[in-house]
A and B are shown apart, each in its own frame.
Chain A
Amino acid sequence: MNRPHLKKEYYGYLFVAPFIIGFLLFGLYPVVHTLGLSFTDTTLMKAESNFIGLKNFQRLFADKTFSTAITNTWELWLMNFIPQIGISMLLALWFTNTRLKIKGGGIWRMLFYMPNLMMPASIAALFFSLFSFYGPVNQFLVRADLQAQAIDYIRSPAMMRGLVVFIQWWMWYGQTTILLMAAITSVSPALYEAALIDGAGTGQIFRYVTLPLIKPVMVFILVTSLVGGMQMFDIPMLLTDGRGSPANSILTNNIMMYMRFRSSQGHIGAASSIGVMVFIMTTVVALLIFYLLREKHDGKEIKA
């Protein structure tokens, strides 16, 4: 492995330079600038802005809407993630099980994945239409005598929360299934055979062979889903009136940030402080999960 390109160090820098410049200009600077704005009372309506220290953050912590937004975002994410990983794991195990021999595995997962590519804004508007008072869901349920009369689902907090959770699950379970299938099939068959010869049952094989070996992919799914979930916006925004109605039941972090930004004064200082808080919270939790669940058996790593 004695490659003769060590002298070409200079080219390495040249090739990565556009990324680094792009990152500094469009990645790092906006983060620093957002942090800076969060200490000011900047609005879009007046030219001057003042440094106000931690006032934005103090107001934020005193604001009950903020704790509602944080709690909602966590709940909406968790309620979708837990069934998502459960159902996807079941599907992935079925599709990869050599004794069950489920036919058309490729077509099933291709169709299950389809909702993931569709525009979330349209999906939200679609479900709004489907569940509206005169919409198809009410029509169907009333005609099938499953409901005495049309129900105003859009005004029901429980229904709307359930719907946000369902849509998130609906959009993501296919992708999670595909990732888990790839992880399971990358485990060496020799390991399964060895476990079978040792007399391990299906449950034991899953618990002691499959699960430990697919852990890196599970961590990947968990962290990317969390980071995405904490920034949930399009679906809850466009499912109802764009303010997290009814009764703030689907108000998420980003909807609240957007509402501050588009308030009559355009309080971008206050909006920034929401961005900063959610940024810190998400990054800390994501890196903590990654750190806690990282591969610990250094040196003894089993390679498939």
Chain B
Amino acid sequence: MKKEHYRFSLVLSRVLIYILLAILLVITLVPVWLLIVNATRSTLQIQQGISFLPSTFILSNYKILLSKGLDLPRGFLNSFTIAAATTLLTVYFSMLTAYGIVAYEFKGKKFLYNFILVLVMIPMQLSIIGFYHYMVKIGLDDNYLSLILPSIASAASVFFCKQYLEGVMIQDLIDAGRIDGASELGIFHRIMFPLAAPGAFTLGIFTFVAAWNNFFNAFILITSRDKYTMPMLVQTLRGDVYRHEYGAIYLGLAASVVPIIIIYFLFSRYIVNGISMGAVKE
């Protein structure tokens, strides 16, 4: 009797949980799906009602965006350039720093590592005004370098790389490299980096997405219209020029979001596993 009761309550709670999960899934996906669908519908269709099926107006929506002077390919290229350069610098220099901490003993190493840990918890972005003023003084305002160069020193990324390197480092391989006469930097490039490639790739995806989505810094540092990044173009869609051109607005928004969704579906395994890599020690 007690066992029956137990089985019944287990099935009941399972059913309830699946219902709740389904509701959460709808809440999570509907806004995104509406965004993508509306990007393919005409403004008239959008005003007539909601639809979950795509339509055929994607090109005419694009033409409206172009006619209003919104250069989507340009913004796309700008954002891609910044995100790619940021990713390369972050991954390379974070691995380099983490390798220095993991592979060598030196005075101040413990302090440096603890300092990096504290840096992760400090809102460095709040110094953006001083950063802007400083970039103006050295002539780097309205220049992508001001967005890209700071990624040489990314505390959270170094932390991630250190956790990862500790798991994959093989001291014997490093020693073998030394016996073969490889330089210390050569060992890092030819032995450690390939070993750490999956971690580097995971970090790379996160860095790319964060740089692609970054609005605040670009919004403060970049002023020329032709240097606008995707989120800055998105922000102009709120303006009066596009009033009531709903199809075109949704298309502009979708263009900033869809590439990331594609990256996510291609590499979700790396991404989902990478989220907890820095935080949970296995």
Contact = CB atoms under 8 A, between A and B. Distances in A.
**Bind each other:** yes
Interface of A: 3-6, 8-16, 18-23, 25-27, 29-37, 42, 91, 94, 99-102, 106, 108-115, 117-123, 125-130, 134, 136, 139-140, 143, 170, 174-175, 178-179, 181-183, 186, 217, 220-221, 223-224, 227, 230-231, 233-234, 238, 242, 254, 257-258, 261, 268, 271-272, 275-276, 278-279, 282-283, 286-287, 290
Given A120-B213, A121-B256, A15 B129 contact: no
B282 A110 contact: no
Interface in B221-259: 230-231, 234-235, 237-238, 246, 249-250, 253, 256-257
Interface string B179-209: 0000010001000000000000000000001
Contact of A12 (B109, B127, B216): B109
Provide the main secondary structure of the chain A interface.
helix
A69 B32 CA distance: 30
B47 A134 contact: yes
A211 B275 CA distance: 20
Looking at B127, B209, B272, which has the most chain A CB atoms within 10 Å of its CB? B127
B105 interface: yes
Interface of B: 10, 13-14, 17-18, 21, 24-25, 27-29, 31-32, 34-35, 38, 46-47, 49-50, 93-94, 96-97, 99-101, 103-107, 109, 112, 118-134, 149-150, 152-153, 155, 158, 171, 175, 184, 188, 209, 212-213, 215-216, 219-220, 230-231, 234-235, 237-238, 246, 249-250, 253, 256-257, 260-261, 263-264, 268, 271-272, 275-276, 279-282
Contact of A37 (B14, B126, B133, B219): B133
A261 B129 contact: yes
A268 B50 CA distance: 45
B97 A220 contact: no
A275 B128 contact: yes
A261 B281 CA distance: 42
A70 to B, nearest CB: 13
28 contacts: A8-B104, A11-B184, A15-B100, A20-B153, A21-B152, A22-B149, A22-B152, A26-B150, A27-B153, A33-B127, A100-B10, A100-B17, A101-B14, A108-B25, A110-B272, A112-B28, A113-B271, A114-B29, A115-B32, A117-B264, A118-B261, A125-B235, A134-B47, A179-B279, A224-B121, A227-B122, A231-B125, A275-B129
